[in-house]
């Protein structure tokens, strides 16, 4: 069953981020090659898990929640509690820092910002 995203939310440092158009969470665990010399087939083990979230927001510099994201990347970049809540109630929870904040302005379009959050430590999926 598909999940509706109309009631999804993103909390960064305890504050719900406003005007989020899209949100993506990516979990990854790289394959590490442990093939021995002389082996005839490759062997792999899984590496350490990492997670990122990408937000596409309708940017408003006067929005204090957008300013908090900018302050994080422009300031000390300390990881803060981050929660992505899906409409069905599923959550992705962990500590994240802003690693990219890119503002795009185009004629005839709303100003948008693409924000990348890098989780540090464990991420909980519930």
Q: Domain limits of the chain?
A: 14-27+48-125
Rounded to an integer, what distance in angstroms lies between the CA atom of residue 124 and that of residue 83?
A: 9
The SS3 call for residue 112 is strand
Please, is 123 exposed, middle or buried when counting C-beta atoms within 10 Å of its C-beta (0-12, 13-18, 19+)? Answer: buried
- Contacts of residue 3, defined as CB under 8 A and 6 or more positions apart, other chains included, come to 86, 87, 88, 90
- Contacts of residue 103, defined as CB under 8 A and 6 or more positions apart, other chains included, come to 59, 111, 112, 113
Q: What is the chain's pLDDT, residue by residue, as a tens digit (126 residues)? A: 565 555 589 999 999 999 998 888 999 999 999 999 999 999 999 999 999 999 999 999 999 999 999 999 998 889 999 999 987 788 999 999 999 999 999 999 999 999 999 999 999 999
Q: Please tell me what DSSP assigns to residue 105.
A: -
Q: Where are the beta strands (DSSP E) in 1-126?
A: 9-12, 15-16, 20-28, 31-33, 44-46, 50-58, 80-85, 91-104, 112-125
What are the structure tokens assigned to 67, written together? 């300013």
Residues 10/23, Cβ–Cβ less than 8 Å = yes
> Would you state the pLDDT for residue 7?
58
State the pTM of this model.
Answer: 0.85
């Amino acid at each position: 069953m598909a999940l509706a995203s109309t009631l999804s939310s993103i909390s960064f440092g305890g504050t719900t981020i406003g005007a989020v158009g899209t949100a993506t969470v990516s979990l990854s665990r790289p394959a590490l090659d442990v093939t021995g010399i002389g082996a005839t087939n490759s062997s792999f083990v899984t590496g350490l898990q990492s997670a990122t979230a990408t937000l596409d927001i309708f940017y408003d510099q006067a929005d204090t929640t957008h300013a908090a994201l900018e302050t994080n990347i422009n300031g000390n970049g300390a990881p803060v509690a981050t929660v992505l809540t899906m409409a069905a109630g599923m959550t992705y929870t962990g500590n994240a820092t802003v690693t990219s904040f890119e503002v795009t302005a185009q004629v005839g379009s709303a100003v948008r910002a693409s924000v990348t959050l890098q989780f540090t430590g464990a991420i909980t999926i519930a």
